[in-house]
Structure 1
């Protein structure tokens, strides 16, 4: 049986490896084109391409799947099953109809909640206590296909988007291993999604990254960790972007007064900033033109006097 795997970021690599370790015949990998990265803007292959190349698997990198040449190139591999994980494009109907066992997707949420391109970040930012992975048949809509299997994964206060990517990536690979034998033997009864329960998690926007200090301390704590390790939450200091990478779990209301965004104090423990319902201690920051660092480290060369207002 010929399997074509479609995926792009690190999240997808364990699913590809699961297929290979279970001896499925992965005849080709489809991934996004190489993109410029880093300060030098060097052309860099996606993690899935790097893994496939290392293992001698043919790689296709169409800019758009809807181009006739892209479909012809995939069709030439005669796929019996297409497996996708964080590929980054919606599959056209002509591709969905190609393999006899269908196209399935490893999605990082408990569908129908958090359809879209940033389900892990939005789940954390919204304060969810659990998320998970759903394997579903792909359909023409955005993550709307019938559900095949799923697994729940807790979210703790210590988690960031980075740690949850790792947890869900591993959980997705394990779920794929467990699901495929039953699917290929026709022992799966897929379940339609309840449209009334559907929510969406679009790709992170600049507005999602901006800190609104009038929100509660818990909401800001969730926002900051949901955007770590990228793209990062930010506010303004002296009119320049001031990134916040980590904060301390809120412990209650502050007795200090001030408008939201006011710096209350700066110590080796962090930078205390007034919020809509109390205060939040920032512990890792990145001033414009600097590297990310702990507040204790930053404090050795810079201080922000109490009464300074961030965000303006």
Structure 2
């Protein structure tokens, strides 16, 4: 199904007992209803591969998982146009907010995104992916466009860190390259340096909390217990009481990671109508704007 039908089509899904409208809904759906429409469509037409890490018995391979994630932003936009109609704007942040951003390779660290009006503040960003994926095609097509958007919206110069992945590399190696990126930002005269991580990248950001001035955690997965001992080493999430000013962004329909209440009690927490990977473009833009406001504030 690649084109919007001339007339909306109602499809009954026996598995959920719900009706789904392809071709745009009549009337308005609330955010939860919109998310349900998108999630159903994507699960029907673009189901996720097995994203379980290999050390936990997963059967998926890194390239397949990264390619699925790389296509997700465009598929979210396409699904929104099909399921919610074309009247509303369905651009993802990485399309809507790029402005005059520039990107330059930073050998050994990643890519630095410089906004058109830099404030002098810097950040390092850390992709998700369960510690073992999230680089490759996913990095360039899914994660980094959103990083660029937040950089432009906030005026923050952001180093997106291409850190080494498990199981080939331990957490100590990931933390070392992250700290090297923070040091580079400070060497450039940064007024403040923040760390922004998504999912497992949020745990990596928390591991360097003592080196930064702000901490931004998006859909955080802060549990290290599932990592093999050889990967985890002696890594421990520091006591949240020692963290700098922190914002946590969580999805109310996220069933992939739990809420980490022990961290939330010391942070500002914003909740969104979102699953872990699936979110409407409208809510994705709000999350990007909120992230930018935190980095700018």
So what's the TM-score if we normalise by structure 1? 0.31
Instruction: Give the strand-richer structure, 1 or 2.
Output: 1
Return the structure number with greater relative CO, CA threshold 8 A, min gap 6: 2
Instruction: Give the helix-richer structure, 1 or 2.
Output: 2
So what's the TM-score if we normalise by structure 2? 0.32
